[in-house]
Structures are given as structure tokens and as C-alpha cells.
Amino acid sequence: MESSKEVENQPIYSVSQINREIRLILEENLPILWVEGEISNWLHHPSGHCYFSLKDKDSQLRCVLWRDQARDLSFTPEDGMKVLVNGQITVYERGGQYQLNCFRLKPAGVGELGLAFERLKRRLEREGLFDPQHRLPLPPFPERIGVVTSPSGAAIRDIIKVVGKRSPWAQIVLAPVLVQGPGAAEQIAQAIRDFNLLGGVDLLIVGRGGGSIEDLWAFNEEEVARAIFSSQLPIISAVGHEIDFTISDFVADARAPTPSAAAELATRDQGELRGKLESWGERMARRMTGMVEEIGRRLDRISQSYGFRRPADLLAQFVQRNDELERRLMQAMQHLLELRGSKLSGLKARLRSLGPPAILQRGYSICRKLPDKEVVRRASQLTPGGGIEVIFSVGRIAGKVETVEEGNGKERI
């Protein structure tokens, strides 16, 4: 106290000096400590700093929470809330007041967290954030799934496992975030906004594996709730275990009890798709076979009606057309058969029965000009003395043409 005057050998302090002295005594003698109390006169100043008092039944303690620490709050403090505060006692020299300089604030006990949860839930509910009308439908066949969770947690491993099993064609895009502790809520909300900005995924799974209510707290934060609400991409919320409900669950388009369940909800099972494909393949094949059979029956009717007058090559044309259709059908069926194995081989046999061998079986024969084996459709293709062969259902004969009557195509069979 060099600059102090002395009165009767007692030092005289200036106000600043004594305040500084008190400050040194307090700061040097009181370590960083935890204080439990109830918040009163909470003031979130526009500067970002927060001022409040902690009180209990009998006493009050002034507190200040600076902007940088206020940003990391994992909940919204309100008057009347019981909290645990970590900080250091210091003196605000200008005001001559001692105060607790806060580093961390957390709700005191599960009861208080539950209260904070209920308060936020009520407020957001009143605002309409939970209204079912805002819920987006989940896409039926998602092929790119965005996941907002920790890259090292069990959640992402579970999701990859389930998606790999059910929809192995799908792609997973992970936005790695902190899922607990300071900054977690901010990162989760930002990742949701990033996915919306980036696009390219069909839906989002937002969540984490189980933990204490404190561990899950980021998913009870207003910022996360608002990011989910504003998302244009459908979101499945999957936080913790079956019994854990978070604010995220209420705002999301769908809630899954666990990350695995979310992956299940998001994907289509390949077995289900296979079944559908099989059934459709079968229905197509049955329908086509039916059509070809119908044509075969028409051919039969035409050929069997005695009084029917027709050009001589009508039948041949039908046969040829039938052959052409059958060839294409067989080709297409071949693909199906390769994939479906023996299940459809019965159909294949039935298709065969509609081909030329079956028609020969019914008593028709094919006449071919020799030596070039050209199928004869008109008598005028032949000349007397030329070679011909006639193919029957069983066996064939060869010979020479004796006479040719060209005809006019109106002959009766």
C-alpha cells in the first residue's frame, strides 16, 4: 500500500484499492466451485451476457454468465428453475459487488430437467410444432438416407447393419455430429439444415443410442426442434431406447424407438420387393401365355370350319405370324425363366405346344420347294418336273411336281 496515506499508523485505502484487495482475497481463497440454487431475475442481455441471481430460502448470490458460455447452454434457464452452477467468485469492482462468474450451468437433478422438458414441450405444442398436419410422408423406396448422429456411436453401426440387410441397394450419408455435451444441439440442427441445403437424400434419420436423460438432452433443445420442424426432408427421430421420449420425437415426421428401428422404418425389405417382383413376373407371363393360346384356338377354329372360304395362304400367314410372336414371346420368357428357374418351365412347355410341331400334329403339312427348301405358299412357285418335299408331323416325303394349277386363291379345301 505504498500510495496509501496513513492515519494513526492505519493505512487508508481508496475505494478501488479496497475493492481490488477484496477481489484478490476472494479469488485466491475460493477455488472454482459448484453452487446449487434457484434462478431468479434471469436477464439475457442483448449483448449476449446473462445476469441473474441464485437464491435459496434465506439468501441470494449475484451471478453472471458471459456470452461465450451462454452459447453452450444445453437448456433454456428460467426463473424458478433449480440449477447447479460451476464458477468462480469474483468482485465487480465498479459496483463493489461480489458475484459468481459462471462457467457452466446445468439443471439440478432429473426433476428439474423434466420440468424444463415439460415447459418447452408445452410451448412448442402451443405453437403447433407437433401438429400431425405438418408431418411429411416417408418415401416408399428411399435410396439415399441421410443420418445425423455421432460417427463413433452404436447408432450409425446399427443403422448400417439394418439398411444393409433390408435395402442393400441404398446409400447412407452420415453427417457426423456431437450428440451430447456443449455444442451438440447446435451441430445437430446445423446438420439438418445442411442436408436440406444440399438435397440429394430421400429422408433423414436423426438420433443416437441410449444414455442418461442428460446425455439425450441435445434432442430436447429448441434449436433442434425448430430445425426438424423446418426441414423439407422427412425426418425420423430415433433417440435412445424404447422408453425415451424427446422433443425431437414429437416434432419429427416419424418416431422410432431406437436407431435400428428407424432404419427399419426407413427402408423397404428386399424380401417384400422380391415377392412383389415375382408375382408381377408371373402375372405378366400368365397373361401373355393366355393371349398366345387364344390365338392358337382361333387358328384351330378357322382351320376346322368347313364352310370357311379363305385365301389359300391365310393359314400359312397365321402360322408365320404365330411363329413370329411365339419367337418373341419365347425370347422374353427366356429372360424370366433364366431368373425364375423351374417355376415357369411348365409355361414354356405350354408355349412350345403352340408352335409348328403342334400344328403339323393337327394334320397340316408343310410343302417345300427343292433344292432351296423354300416354303411353298402358291402353286405358281413351282414348275412341272421340279423337286418338292412334304413334311408331316412324323416323317417326310420327296418327289417331283407333275402338274401346276395356279388358281386364284378362292379354292375351297
**Min separation Cβ 320 and other proteins, Å:** 14
**Min separation Cβ 24 and other proteins, Å:** 42
**Min separation Cβ 27 and other proteins, Å:** 38
Q: Which residues, 6+ apart, have CB-to-CB distance to 113 below 8 Å?
A: 75, 107, 213, 214, 217
Nearer to other proteins, 190 or 381 (CB): 190
Nearer to other proteins, 167 or 303 (CB): 167
Alpha-carbon gap, residue 346 to 308, rounded angstroms: 34
Nearer to other proteins, 136 or 325 (CB): 325
**Min separation Cβ 263 and other proteins, Å:** 10
Q: What are phi and psi of 2, to 5 degrees?
A: -65, -40
**Min separation Cβ 32 and other proteins, Å:** 34
Among residues 224, 259, 254, the alpha carbon closest in space to that of 139 is found at 254
Nearer to other proteins, 94 or 287 (CB): 287
Q: What are phi and psi of 293, to 5 degrees?
A: -65, -40
Alpha-carbon gap, residue 84 to 39, rounded angstroms: 10
**Min separation Cβ 174 and other proteins, Å:** 5
Nearer to other proteins, 249 or 326 (CB): 326
| Interface residue list for other proteins (CB under 8 A) | 139-141, 143, 146, 151-152, 156-157, 160, 163-164, 167-176, 191, 194-195, 197-198, 270, 273-274, 276-277, 280-281, 283-284, 287-288, 291, 295, 325, 328-329, 331-333, 335-336, 339
**Min separation Cβ 195 and other proteins, Å:** 7
**Min separation Cβ 196 and other proteins, Å:** 12
Nearer to other proteins, 17 or 171 (CB): 171
**Min separation Cβ 198 and other proteins, Å:** 5
Nearer to other proteins, 167 or 246 (CB): 167
The pairing of strands 171-176 and 50-55 is: unpaired
Nearer to other proteins, 160 or 390 (CB): 160
Nearer to other proteins, 81 or 227 (CB): 227
In the block, cell 411348365 appears at: 346
Are residues 73 and 105 in contact, defined by beta-carbon separation less than 8 angstroms? yes
Q: What is the dihedral of CA 404, 405, 408, 412, to 10 degrees?
A: -110
Among residues 196, 134, 161, the alpha carbon closest in space to that of 267 is found at 161
Among residues 159, 241, 250, 247, the alpha carbon closest in space to that of 203 is found at 159
CA angle 210, 212, 215 (to 5 degrees): 85
Alpha-carbon gap, residue 51 to 77, rounded angstroms: 11
